A and B are shown apart, each in its own frame.
Chain A
Amino acid sequence: MTALTSHLKLLEAESIHIFREAAAQFRAPVLLYSIGKDSTVLLHLARKAFWPAKPPFPVLHVDTTWKFREMIAFRDRTAKAFGLDLIVHTNHDGLARGMNPFDHPPSVYTDIMKTQALRQALDTGGFDAAFGGARRDEEASRAKERIFSFRAAGHRWDPRLQRPEMWQLLNGRLAKGETVRIFPLSNWTEGDVWRYITLEKLEVVPLYFADLRPVVERNGQFIMVDDERMRLEPGETPQMRKVRFRTLGCYPLTAAIESEADDLDTVVTETLAARVSERAGRLIDHDQAGAMEMKKREGYF
């Protein structure tokens, strides 16, 4: 037995219920694994939902090739430890065209290396359902999501035509060409995710904890110089700062915050007291008004 508080217990049970409904109703589900804290919780809940059996679906990582090195190491460790059926997909066509986060605006880069890559991977695998770790508290358009989020052919989301979703009843019956994104963590907040990680003693990528890291400061945000591909502006020199990350993505597009929080307890405390929302550190969300909704309409999860 674990020491979860009552509202975390309710959230955990709801997520397990969602995983089981999806496994029963869809032909070929897949779990989108992005290595971060939400994916860590998602994977843990998937294991609980089907225990003592293994989760009856593979795990998919869409790799832009610009993830933090520590993320990739963590991914491979996790896949081995839990015996996961891990699929790694990269949009090689995008790479061949020289796509990178420096020469292209974040919206274009994200569309090609993440959204289109995800669509390729889902189509190639013939998956009709994909679990994602998105939470409604992350962003205004995500606050509007259903748990079973239907996508028309081409993975397009039409927020004006969402399927009614009443009570605990999840209707996964698909029309021709439709697929579905499933969000078991819909009702979790960032604070819940951290409290759950603490109480369940889950391992997360060390980048979430403050440490001395080489960073450059741009527009008041700290960008980590994770490898030699990082392009420095004239006059920029990496400096060592004690920083950590609230969300993890492609390193040139993910800002760190200065922090002394170097273990779970202090991270939870800092998170619950935060006065700035977590996606403030995601440069791709600020490119244009309604940026997340636009990405979702194109098939971003």
Chain B
Amino acid sequence: MDGAALEKLETQVSVRTIPGPVETSGAMVKLLTCGSVDDGKSTLIGRLLWDAAGVTDDQRAAIMHASHSRAVNGERIDFSLLLDGLVAEREQGITIDIAWRYFETRRRRFVIIDSPGHEQYTRNMATGASHADIAILLIDARHGVKRQTRRHAAICDLVGIKKVILAVNKMDQIDWSEARYRAIDADFRALAANFGFTEIATIPVAALTGANVVARSAEMPWYSGPTLFEYLDSVDPRAEPQDAPFRMPVQLVLRASDDFRGYAGTVTSGAIRIGDRVVDARSGLSATLRRIATMDGDQPTAKKGEAVTLVLDTDLDISRGAVLSEVKRRPVNADVMEARLVWLSEQSFDPEAGYLLRTATDLTPVTSMSVSALVDFETLKSTPAHDCGVNDIADCRILLGRATALDLFRDLPLTGNFVLVSAIDGATVAGGVVTWVQTGAAAVGDNVLVLNRARLAGLCADLGDSPADRAEFERRAQEVAILLRSAGVPVLIETDQ
């Protein structure tokens, strides 16, 4: 099919698109809905899908049928049934896990991530938020900002969302009061001063009646801004600086019969061109880019978001976990870091438990970790603390068993984020962002046991000096470190690379 035919297809997808200037940026917008329970998230998105696009006739019929059998909203259609797809959710009338929905206008693809409002399911909300470009934060106009509203705003900020739509919902329940709307808007802007949002748009809506969702409301003549749908269809979701430094975390080393050796990965920032120098920050080794190989043929350049395979002019002897970067602006090869994280596990932070740090493609043992502060969801200020439990946002300091390539999240999100993994059962216990890093600061104190070749000579008597043997040493040392740490012994791994 030629380009013109494709364009024709893409423009005929939705007949109900509101006319406006054609947007060239942002082919895909990922949108989170969040806010406290019962503020109407699923209903709002159900309404948006129902009115704008994305609901097929058989789904409409099933929803109409289910609405009548449940009659939660009296005579009305229960739009939340479009999203609450689990049996338990439908039975209890709540959202447990995030739901993903997709629809297109003639300008762009929307990915909608509907998240649960219950505090109990905050881990699922955090999962959803981390994938979003823009958040719709719902507030029930009758109740205003709640504790859970502040928690969700703080999580949106933590995971890097820069643009927030404050949807003041259930305006029909407060007689479409402009004064009330303005008060809530002012409240939210005051608390948002704690965060790094670059754009806040406040829109008064009534999800049940559809007011200002897709159709403009006749009841609120005092509001002259865009409807929710108008705003979404024209917003530029991107918040990335131009000229970001090149990064590509190595996922795999690909080898093929004809002497082919390539580093496979997805470019997480910047761009690279044949002939550019690249460096592995962990080893400090550099090489020149010879080929960018894909099954569709070689490319002259690769940029952020592309999954490629890089072939270098010299063999750097690097493996999964390395981050290939430009030479001048490279990541820090860090073994100590400070971070802000959201704790996701029902089991609270335990300084003596074994944790692993999963960054872009690396998995590094944590030597020691301490919590310094928690975010107070009443004031949104940090308060000193040493413990943290499920749904908390904490500031912490982490010492790593060996150095790994890290950036600051605020500069390069995809090489500055991480999840913390339980070394025992593999569970993801926290998700966080790097706020500060340093090399070589994990100074070996008297009470830190160093695991090196000499100390593990017996265990590793069968190992030589080949790359495979060195990797095997590191693996064994990490396993020993996990055991020792779970017994409360601080450990550092020293590799001879």
Contact = CB atoms under 8 A, between A and B. Distances in A.
Interface residues of B, number: 79
A52 B427 CA distance: 34
B57 A275 contact: yes
Interface stretch (B32-40, B373-381, B414-422): B414-422
Contacts of B419: 164, 166, 169, 171
B417 A265 contact: no
A2 B87 contact: no
Contact of B426 (A2, A47, A50, A174): A174
B97 A159 contact: yes
B28 A7 contact: yes
A149 B254 CA distance: 26
Contacts of A146: 127
A142 B98 CA distance: 11
A192 to B, nearest CB: 8
Contact of A24 (B124, B252, B258): B252
B97 A187 contact: no
Contacts of A53: 254-256, 260
Given A195-B6, A277-B58, A17 B307 contact: yes
A118 to B, nearest CB: 22
Interface of A: 1-3, 5-7, 9-10, 12-14, 16-17, 20-21, 23-24, 47-53, 136-137, 139-144, 146, 159-160, 162-169, 171, 173-175, 178, 186-187, 189, 191, 195, 198-199, 264-265, 268-269, 272-277, 280, 289-290, 293-294
B264 A6 contact: no
Given A1-B296, A167-B417, A17 B127 contact: no
Nearest to B129: A166
Interface in B77-130: 83-88, 90, 96-102, 104, 108-109, 111, 123-124, 126-127, 130
A166 B264 contact: no
Contacts of A167: 130-131, 159, 413-414, 417, 431
Interface string B303-325: 00111010000000000100000
26 contacts: A6-B27, A7-B28, A9-B306, A13-B266, A17-B266, A20-B251, A24-B251, A24-B252, A50-B264, A51-B293, A51-B294, A52-B262, A136-B100, A137-B101, A140-B86, A159-B86, A160-B86, A160-B97, A164-B123, A165-B127, A168-B414, A187-B102, A268-B9, A272-B9, A273-B12, A277-B59
A171 B414 CA distance: 15
B56 A276 contact: yes
B358 interface: yes
B281 interface: no
A198 B85 contact: no
Interface of B: 1, 3, 5-6, 9-10, 12-13, 27-28, 56-59, 83-88, 90, 96-102, 104, 108-109, 111, 123-124, 126-127, 130-131, 159, 251-252, 254-256, 258, 260, 262, 264-266, 268, 293-297, 299, 305-307, 309, 320, 344, 356, 358-361, 413-414, 417-419, 421, 425-428, 431
A213 to B, nearest CB: 23
Nearest to A143: B99
Nearest to B28: A7
Contacts of A52: 254, 256, 258, 260, 262, 293, 295
Given A50-B254, A52-B293, A167-B131, A293 B86 contact: yes
